[in-house]
Chains A and B, each alone.
Chain A
Amino acid sequence: MKKLVLLVVVGSLLLATAGCQTPKPAETATPTTAPTAAAEKFRIGVIYDFSGPFAAGGSTAAATGTEIAIEMVNEQGGILGKYPVEAIVADAQSDADVAVNEAERLLNAEKVDALVGIYSSAHAVPIAAKVDQQKAFIWLGVPSSTAVLKDKHYRYVFRCLPHSDQFGELSPQFLSEFSQEKLGIAPEDLKVAIIYEDGPYGTGVAAGNERGVEKYGLQLVLKEGYSSSAPDLSALITKLRRAQPDVILHTGYNPDITLFLRQAREQGLTFKALIGHGAGYAQPEFVEKFKSDIEYFLNVDTPAAQLFDPSVLAPGLGDLTQEYLKRYEEKTGVKDPPNQASSGFNFTWLFLTQVVPMALEKYGDWSPDSLRQAAMDLDIPDGGTISGFGVKFYPPEHEMSGQNMRAFPVLTQYRDGKAVVVYPTQISAVEPVLPLPAGHPYAAE
């Protein structure tokens, strides 16, 4: 009997570990000789998390986007049609120490010409400092925390993506513009509640929300955090009912968003609009689960390329998006890739088709200094990339040095279970619906 028990336990453990193993990415075989400026290949170090919790949280998706961009550039014969791109891929394993070590290995042992990627802001902070100190070059992938660049005055670190402060301020800005027109309430009379999970992400966005509410003169009636693993949010909902906000600004993960919406419905909480801020509000399974309940809910996020109407983008970008989407589906079977995949593709594509060629043509080589000058020269107007925004970096003396000043998050609204861009107006093809129409489960009678 004891043997049988042992057998069952060992067997199940083996099964469990077999299921947990994540395949490591195939690392490209690389020559050991150090390339010179006259090398035939542009060698690029790509760092993402292929294992650990970040892998499924969007890191693998971003890496796939990057891979597609490199593949497409190479199909055109490489940079300027002459220099093929060779990618050396490293797995940061969702661990900051590993990420830093891999970055050092790529720069010092592999002697890559530039680094691209990184998923987590917690990895980006130490790596950016190291890269800048070594006067190497990094083109960041998807880490969005404002703290990565703020007050650092880096010269060799660039980020195309909007940063987290912008997320929190977009929703009050949107409300100040539409409050009178859609809700018939003057912005200064609009009652807003901010609720958030009390981790760094929720707290950061909520601080941005509060600044925005103050800046646009809205009325803050409640600001409250909670733990994302709290078993009960009924006291929070009771307080919301007492405060009677017109609009709720919510930042959370799961299970808290699900619990909140469920208990809000049971306790008869009503509002005119709810604006989520990425994370839990952007997950496909969330949309699937709530369907009609979250119809007309708004969400602030970095835009995924497929959300844009090609007519609001520069000519040719619609085709580029289609090509990327087609290849992404071929590789992963996913039709509706997350925004991290768009970012991974878009920014690498920009780097390899605009920055590196400009460095070569204008400054003669692809050394870190030439790359940084080319990046500083970059001037793409709004609508000029598949993510909707343009690209122009803040100079080193600016507090956000290296940040793309034209990047912006967008506000989407769920319509028939699909997210559509409704704000900013210059790139949206659809008008927002406010307030929640009568008959909606959360609409005030």
Chain B
Amino acid sequence: MDTFLLEAMINGILLGGVFALLTIGLNLIFGVIDVVWIAYTELVMVGMYAIYCLYSGLGLPLLVACLIAVAFVTVLGALVHFLIIAPILDSPPINQLLATGGLLFFLQSFATLLFTTDFRNIGVRLPSLQLGGMFISTARLLAFIVALIAVTCLYLFLKYTYWGLAIRAIAQDRHIIGLMGIDQRWAYGITSAIGGALAGLAACLLVLQYDIQPFIGNSFGPIVWMNCVFGGLGNLVGGFLSAFIVSEIIAISGYYISTDLSYACAFAAFIVIMFFKPRGIFSK
């Protein structure tokens, strides 16, 4: 087999890891709270700036900076829910969309105000692995492994804990859950916090690969969105798998056709799927 093609495919899978993390975070929120967070990838941007400030600014060790950043974005996720989403939970979906859209512009502008549009990076470079003529980025491999571990942990949490059960139940029927003695407000808050934590974790993994700038969310937002819809909005397993399918489509078409058409190919596949399976490729 062509080693270059193999390399492109491996890179696609590794890229899919980070996409999967973000897709699951967004899908979880949508599945449980039924609100579309347009500003989700902006939380990643906030997390990246947090790491930058803590590590490059205050000189904390990278691991400590990452842990604090994850905690920070977790709290931020919960705050977004309680301050922005909760008051408009019963309004029409378009209002909710506009509110999180407003948050997107607010976060981007606020970051521009604080940090300007300069590109910043934390200056950490990991060596790459060389395997028989193929080069594999360690930062990406790390991101892939951590993403898989995080997704496994989330699965175990949802499957084996009380609040995990509550969250799954609420996703099935949000109205009846109150009768079962579960406080929906807490379930929503916890879900948003988990969504925030996944965004924070993604920030830790992406900060090793990308420069930080106020609009970095725009690079990932559309793809993450497509993954969610591709796999079925609210369908966790579907979102997880579609992240890998989409990134493989991008990698292989990028290799065989061209880089600027690779995203067009992914979106074309998306449109075709939507014709036949409007509720996502993994819908029943």
Contact = CB atoms under 8 A, between A and B. Distances in A.
Contact of A242 (B4, B135, B220, B259): B4
B211 A255 contact: yes
B128 A225 contact: no
Nearest to A222: B258
B15 A234 contact: yes
A360 interface: no
Given A224-B260, A236-B259, A258-B211, A15 B113 contact: yes
A229 interface: yes
B113 A5 contact: no
A239 B15 CA distance: 17
B8 A238 contact: yes
Given A224-B259, A226-B260, A5 B83 contact: yes
A198 interface: yes
A234 B251 contact: yes
A258 B212 CA distance: 11
B4 A230 contact: no
Contacts of A19: 113
Contact of A258 (B15, B119, B139, B258): B119
Contacts of A238: 4, 7-8, 11, 255
A232 B248 CA distance: 12
Interface string A9-31: 00011011001100000000000
Interface string B125-157: 100101000010111100000000000000000
A241 B128 CA distance: 15
Interface residues of A, number: 36
B4 A241 contact: yes
A242 B220 CA distance: 27
Given A16-B109, A239-B255, A285-B119, A231 B8 contact: no
B121 to A, nearest CB: 7
B259 A259 contact: no
Interface string A189-219: 0000000001000000000000000000000
A93 interface: no
Interface stretch (A134-142, A262-270, A316-324, A328-336): A262-270
Interface in A237-291: 238-239, 241-242, 254-255, 258-259, 262-263, 265-268, 285, 289
Contact of B219 (A13, A225, A231, A263): A231
Interface residues of B, number: 40
A54 to B, nearest CB: 14
A312 interface: no
B14 to A, nearest CB: 9
Interface string B227-263: 0000000000000000000000011001100111011
Contacts of B186: none
Contact of A234 (B11, B118, B211, B260): B11
A38 interface: no
Given A229-B218, A289-B119, A268 B211 contact: no
A285 B213 CA distance: 13
A122 interface: no
B216 to A, nearest CB: 8
B282 interface: no
Given A241-B4, A266-B128, A289-B119, A16 B259 contact: no
B152 to A, nearest CB: 24
Contact of B110 (A16, A227, A229): A16
A289 B210 CA distance: 13
A220 to B, nearest CB: 14
A260 to B, nearest CB: 10
Contact of B259 (A230, A241, A258): A230
B56 interface: no
A12 B110 contact: yes
Contacts of A39: none
B73 to A, nearest CB: 18
Interface string B264-282: 0000000000000000000
B4 A255 contact: no
Contact of B220 (A231, A233, A259): A231
B223 interface: yes
A438 interface: no
Contacts of A5: 83
B184 interface: no
Contact of A229 (B130, B138, B139, B219): B219
A248 B220 CA distance: 27
Contacts of B106: 12-13, 16
Contact of A235 (B118, B219, B250): B250
A231 B113 contact: no
A237 to B, nearest CB: 9
List of 3 A-B pairs having minimum Cβ-Cβ separation, nearest first:
A235-B254, A226-B259, A266-B137
Interface of A: 5, 12-13, 15-16, 19-20, 198, 224-227, 229-236, 238-239, 241-242, 254-255, 258-259, 262-263, 265-268, 285, 289
Given A235-B262, A238-B7, 10 more contacts: A13-B106, A19-B113, A225-B260, A235-B11, A238-B255, A255-B213, A255-B216, A255-B219, A267-B135, A268-B135
